[in-house]
Amino acid sequence: EHFVGGGVAVFDCNGDGLPEIFAAGGENPARLFVNTTAAPGAPLTFTLGDIPDITDTTGAYPLDIDGDGVLDLAVLRVGPNMLLKGSPGCRFADATADWHFATDTRWTTAFSATWEPGAQLPTLAFGNYVDRDNPNGPFEACDINQLYRPEGEAYGEPELLKPGYCALSMLFSDWFRRGRADLWVSNDRHYYVHGGHEQMYRPEENRFLGPEDGWQNVSIWGMGIAARDITGDGRPEVMLTSMGDQLLEFATAEGYRKAPFSTGATAHRPFTGDDGRPSTGWHAAFGDVDNDGLADIFISKGNVDQMPDMAMHDPNNLLMGRADGTFSEAAASAGIASTDRSRGAALVDLNGDGLQDLVVVNRRAPMELWQNATIGAGNWVGVDLSQPGPNTHAVGAWVELRGSGTPLVQERTVGGGHAGGSAVPLHFGVGSAQTAEIRVTWPDGTVGDWIPAPVGKVTTVSRPITQ
């Protein structure tokens, strides 16, 4: 069951501004690494934190479930999933029963969350892989997915999202900029074999979108999802990892279209070494590792185990965005072209110096941590959001930034990647810009004013309490 998974959750659980790392352990216990880095830009240091003994984990995602302002954890497992309530000082307790979260013994490999209007708790989506109880599996034996909606301050029985096509990633986002989040589900055709495809679920209508909605039924070996507007039109592009070609799709008014090969984002074979077999992609993350104002893409790579048709020495990718909208490979020059069997990852600033660092979980190899040492990087702006509960971290908000040339926009989401995600300030590279302004569109659609955002620091935008 642990060929997939290996996700990491990255978030600040003790309020010191430095993110911690919760790493899924598979058959081994999950681990919490508490960030003890001495100063901004200093060498990264961590100590082992104290968490409940949890085995059989595939991944985890941080979010504030109960609206108390402290981040909690949704823990994905082979077996009963868990909800851990966070308390100050990086303390966690099992709140699965307290929140009436009715879990079961499925093989969970994907997660996302959103706050629906009027709800006191987030809506939680859990994606499940192969049905382990199907005697005819694993092929053509995909399990169904589950949607947990709150009933007051607890959860009711899950709604079953059918059909399931072996989900390995899912992400709630306002994909079509209509003011409501839809759920993208990325599915693995290795096990659904035929008849399946990528899915888009519309929660308020309780249905999957189809061709009549302009939804294209694309079939890939879906492993991970990342979303970011990289064209400047305010709509989020999507990066889908897979076996062979990685799939970057551009958002248009009519829907999503595949990026042309000349974009340089397929990362379909190892870019170094003599192994010419197709690659296997897992986690995807957008970032800006040199702060030039152009989005970059990290993709973790690695053979499932010993699949002979796929590359065995499959280095991770770092696709650097260029001004003409194409990407160039830079993982080797950056020193991160590991050929271990990588799975979950996170591209985040771990030491507060404005440079995004990298953590990668590997299967049957040690976890890797790279500190960003880019020389001559551009300026940056960090943006954190807070608002009164229940959605204290303003999941679903959009932040616009101007002052760096092309306007930049990011959405705060929970989900995506491969079995793990982060809850950290939004990171904007702004190149040579010395000043910037930001504007927040809050989850309910309220648009704030443009306000100054100093470069080289994190600005927290707090929404006032309204009567």
pLDDT tens track for 265-275: 999 999 999 89
Q: What is the largest CA-CA distance in the chain?
A: 65
Which amino acid, residue 47?
A: T
Contact 146, 126 (CB under 8 A): yes
pTM listed for this prediction: 0.97
Classify residue 382 as exposed, middle or buried by CB count within 10 Å of its CB (0-12, 13-18, 19+). Answer: buried
Q: For residues 341 and 360, what is the distance between their CA atoms, to the nearest angstrom?
A: 10
Eight-state DSSP code of residue 332: H
Long-range contacts from 329-336, C-beta under 8 angstroms, 24+ separation: 329/264, 329/267, 329/271, 331/271, 332/271, 332/272, 334/289, 335/370, 336/360, 336/370
**Strand duo 8-11 + 422-423: pairing:** parallel
Q: Give the model confidence (pLDDT) of 291-336 as tens digits.
A: 999 999 999 999 999 899 999 999 999 999 999 999 999 999 999 9
Q: CB count, 10 Å around CB of 39?
A: 9
Local confidence pLDDT in tens for the 467 residues of the chain? 778 999 999 999 999 999 999 999 999 999 999 999 999 999 999 999 999 999 999 999 999 999 999 999 999 999 999 999 999 999 999 999 999 999 999 999 999 999 999 999 999 999 999 999 998 889 999 999 999 999 999 999 999 999 999 999 999 999 999 999 999 999 999 999 899 999 999 999 999 999 999 999 999 999 999 999 999 999 999 999 999 999 999 999 889 999 999 999 999 999 999 899 999 999 999 999 999 999 999 999 999 998 999 999 999 999 999 999 999 999 999 999 999 999 999 999 999 999 999 999 999 899 999 999 999 999 999 999 999 999 999 999 999 999 878 899 999 999 999 999 999 999 999 999 999 999 999 999 999 999 999 999 999 999 987 64
In order of start, what are the domains of the chain with their CATH numbers?
8-462 (2.130.10.10)
The pair of structure tokens assigned to 47 is 């100590």
CA 463 to chain centre: 25
User: What is the C-alpha to C-alpha distance for residues 302 and 182, in angstroms, rounded to an integer?
Assistant: 30
The rounded percent of the chain whose pLDDT value lies above 70 is: 100
User: How many CA atoms are closer than 13 Å to the CA of 172, on its beta-carbon side?
Assistant: 26
Angle at Cα 181 formed by Cα 161 and Cα 444, nearest 5°?
Answer: 135
* Helix-strand-coil split of the chain, %, nearest 5: 5, 40, 55
